[in-house]
Amino acid sequence: SGQQRRYVIGVSQCSDDEWREQMNKEITREALFYPEAEVVFRSAGDDNKRQIHDIELLMRNKVDLLVVSPNEADAITPVIEKAYSKGIPVILVDRKIHSNQYTAYIGADNYTIGYNVGEYIASRLQGKGRVVEVTGLRGSTPAAERHRGMTDALREYPDIRVTASVDAGWRRDRARLVFDSLLTHAPEIDMVFAHNDRMAAGAYEAAVKYGREKEMLFVGIDALAGEGYGVEQVASGQLDATFIYPTGGDRVMQTAMAILTGKPYEHDVALSSALVNKGNARVMRMQTGQIRQLDEKIDMLDKRINHFLTRYASQRILLYTCVVM
Ligand code: FRU
């Protein structure tokens, strides 16, 4: 359309997976309400160098604002400080850096989620048992915070032992591999805490291979709706529980526009979490199913509006040519 795009927002995601996809979709959807803004997305495939390159590129292309989910805090801190010192506002989402040189942060409290997982484990194991932790990428802040939260909660329960803690870098395939080798020399495991549902699914797959999936309970984080994701895994009993880790893409877009247009915004937007277990997974599935249908309708309406607008524009040209001739 002939709308003038006054603002360009650059989004640099550290990975691409269903969770990131959902956030990007929410951002794109929310951007429909701001025709003066354009959003461009980059995805770094869990690679620090690539993400630094992406951010440099967005800066060279003169984006007005950066949204960044930093792959690993140490590696990504300098480039963000550089952008910020050039006067480009930076919104951090979900993962943090080791600096206060940023404009706003949006995400859930990963320490508290980890702590709640620890309490959940303790209550499910009735204060006694062996736990294996499959962590996200160690250099990313959610992995460090989730680990610290769980460890602090379990301090109160001396008979619960974390027998292994392995890094699977947020990835399903890696979780399957590391858990496979763990299973071959860990005789007893009562509970597996994976830092996200995707890695829980990978670990589960390895346990199935040895026919051992019933010996232990699996807990994850994210609770995405949709086929094969967290909520369904809980409903089917594959996961014992998961914790919602909201993607918050709409809040990201709203905050970006508030910053760009000089309106008030929150420096720290705390998104909330909640436990999903057998007791509420079915209800959640029903509701998210309905939400998905509404989402599809909104997409359809947007396409139709665009279609009408293009038709309207070409009819105007036609009309104009007729009048002139
Ligand atoms: C998505 C993801 C989520 C996890 C989050 C942590 O890329 O791996 O599964 O909760 O990142 O930053």
Atom of ligand 1 nearest to the CA of 141: 12
For residue 2, what pLDDT is reported? 47
pLDDT of the residue at 322: 78
With H, G, I as helix, E, B as strand and everything else as coil, classify residue 207: helix
DSSP string, 38-77: EEEEEE-TT-HHHHHHHHHHHHHTT-SEEEE--SSHHHHH
Q: What is the pTM of this model?
A: 0.93
pLDDT for 1: 45
What is the layout of strands, in order, in the sheet containing 37-43? 37-43, 7-13, 65-68, 90-93, 104-108, 268-271
CB-count burial class (<10 Å; 0-12, 13-18, 19+) for 164: middle
Indicate the DSSP class of residue 155. Answer: T
C-alpha–C-alpha distance, residues 236 and 233, integer Å: 5
pLDDT of residue 29: 93
95 lines ligand 1 (CB under 6 A): yes
Closest to 131 (Cα-Cα) out of 198, 223, 218:
218
Q: What is the mean pLDDT of each run of 10 residues along the chain (325 residues)?
A: 78 97 96 96 98 98 98 98 98 98 98 98 98 98 98 98 97 98 90 98 97 97 96 97 98 98 97 97 92 89 88 82 74
> Which mutation among 221, 222, 276 tests ligand 1's pocket best, with the greatest number of atoms within 8 A of CB?
222
Instruction: Please report, in angstroms and rounded to a whole number, the separation of the first and last CA atoms in the chain.
Output: 25
Whole-complex ipTM? 0.97
